[in-house]
Amino acid sequence: MWLKRKQVSASIFGALALAWPGTSMAEIKLVESNGWTVTTDGRVNAFVSHIWGDDRPKGFESLPWMGFNEAGDSGQTDADHKLQKTRVRGGFVPSTLAFNVKRVQMKDWLTVAARVEIGFQITDTLPVQPADPTWMEPRAVYLDLSGVWGSVRAGRDLGLFPRGNLLMNYELGHAYGVGFPCAYEYVFGGSCGHVGFGTLWPDFRAQITYSTPMFGNVAQLSVGLFDPRTIPTASWTRTPLPRVESEAVAKYEFSKGFGFKAWANGAWQKIGIGYDVTDPVSGLAIDRKDKMSTAYGLGGGLQAYLGPVKAGGSGYMGKGMDGFLFLGFNPINYSRDDMPNQNRELRPTRGFLLEASVTVGTTWVMGGFGKAILDRMDTDPPIVPEDP
């Protein structure tokens, strides 16, 4: 059974990071007037990132991207076809600047708040052009309406699937560090931490999300409608319905520094293609049909807080994902590309991540193991063993 699956990658690594007090982007008050408060927060960071290893698999060297958004430049490897690349870049959370506006109890039952957060990459997008612009993105732009009935968030923010998995990676792993750089040639947002090695990136997406009040100050449920994704590489651009995402979170503290957090999340989206049926003789279109598929994902995890020791595990599974993203443009999301687009099917995917960290004074030591697995499909070409 295991041999029928294609392993994407696995990573075992350790990292050291300094957890200085006050680096959690505490808000600084700017203005307070007539019940309205304006604050700002952010961070600035820089890291030297160095990667080394084998080039892309044989037969894929010329592809401009292979899950890592890289250039198909054979000149990047040495005489032994080994790759080394050094960049100076931002971290897992890039440099950010944010402004918050809040009005508490605008009515007896309503609090109004808004946030605008911009992310910056400090290095050029491409190293080949000295004047090449860098990356800048409105990561979060949303309005919050909240009260005893819960809250509604409208705007752009992190998705719910698999948000808890990523936050575990943030809390236990790469909050103040880099981790996997995502891409060693093209550089856009922050680095990936452990994304691609057992956890996915939830992405910042336009959404309207409702969150319940906290139940017993322990549990909360969130459900949202999200701007759907398409797969332009396969012309799968029909998205008649919004994507639906949800997450349930429970967090309980037995005593200060000791407790647990558990979560479960999911996503569902319809995606398809409209295509012409042609006459085999004349080649003219004689009919119009469509093909719709269901992409979905399920995830969850458990995290323990044991004083200076923190540990957790998370996992996900579904259809329509690569090792990095739900419904990305990677052609490995679906069956092989030597067939008509309308005949393709979404690929089953799964992954898991285990992490632990120990804090001693202001030093944070962490380690983790993660794996992303893409199941093989009947339409995949046979695996040909490499020459010894």
Inside any domain, residue 381: no
Q: In 10 A of CB 253, how many CB atoms?
A: 13
Place of tokens 């080949």: 128
- pTM (2 d.p.): 0.87
Amino acid at site 237: T
Inside any domain, residue 385: no
Q: In 10 A of CB 183, how many CB atoms?
A: 21
Separation CA 237–CA 118 (nearest Å): 28
Separation CA 212–CA 193 (nearest Å): 30
Inside any domain, residue 388: no
Query: pLDDT at position 221, please?
Result: 98
Place of tokens 């800048």: 136
- Tell me how many domains the chain contains: 1
Q: In 10 A of CB 221, how many CB atoms?
A: 16
Separation CA 173–CA 356 (nearest Å): 8
Query: pLDDT at position 167, please?
Result: 96
* Rg, the chain, Cα only: 23
Inside any domain, residue 382: no
Query: pLDDT at position 362, please?
Result: 84
Separation CA 99–CA 101 (nearest Å): 7
Query: pLDDT at position 46, please?
Result: 93
Inside any domain, residue 320: yes
Long-range contacts: 120-124, Cβ < 8 Å, 24+?
Answer: 120/90, 120/94, 120/95, 120/96, 121/89, 121/90, 121/94, 121/95, 121/187, 121/188, 121/189, 121/190, 122/46, 122/88, 122/89, 122/90, 122/94, 122/95, 123/87, 123/88, 123/89, 123/90, 123/187, 124/187
Residues 366/173, Cβ–Cβ less than 8 Å = yes
Question: What number of residues does the chain have?
Answer: 388
Query: pLDDT at position 298, please?
Result: 98
Query: pLDDT at position 268, please?
Result: 98
Inside any domain, residue 210: yes
Query: pLDDT at position 80, please?
Result: 86
Residues of the chain with pLDDT under 50: 1-24
Separation CA 219–CA 100 (nearest Å): 26
CATH number, position 23: 2.40.160
Q: Is 333 helix (H, G, I), strand (E, B) or coil?
A: helix
Query: pLDDT at position 25, please?
Result: 55
Cis peptide leading into residue 162 (ω within 30°): yes
Please choose, from the candidates 118, 90, 97, 117, the residue with its C-alpha nearest in 3D space to the C-alpha of residue 43: 97
Range of the domain at 322: 2-375
With the CA atoms of 319, 235, 224 and 325 taken in that order, what torsion angle do they form, in degrees rounded to the nearest 10? 50
Residues 333/327, Cβ–Cβ less than 8 Å = yes
Could you list the beta-strand ranges (E) of the chain: 5-18, 28-33, 36-43, 47-54, 82-89, 95-107, 110-124, 134-147, 150-158, 204-211, 219-226, 243-255, 258-278, 285-306, 309-319, 348-360, 363-375
Query: pLDDT at position 1, please?
Result: 26
Inside any domain, residue 264: yes
Inside any domain, residue 316: yes
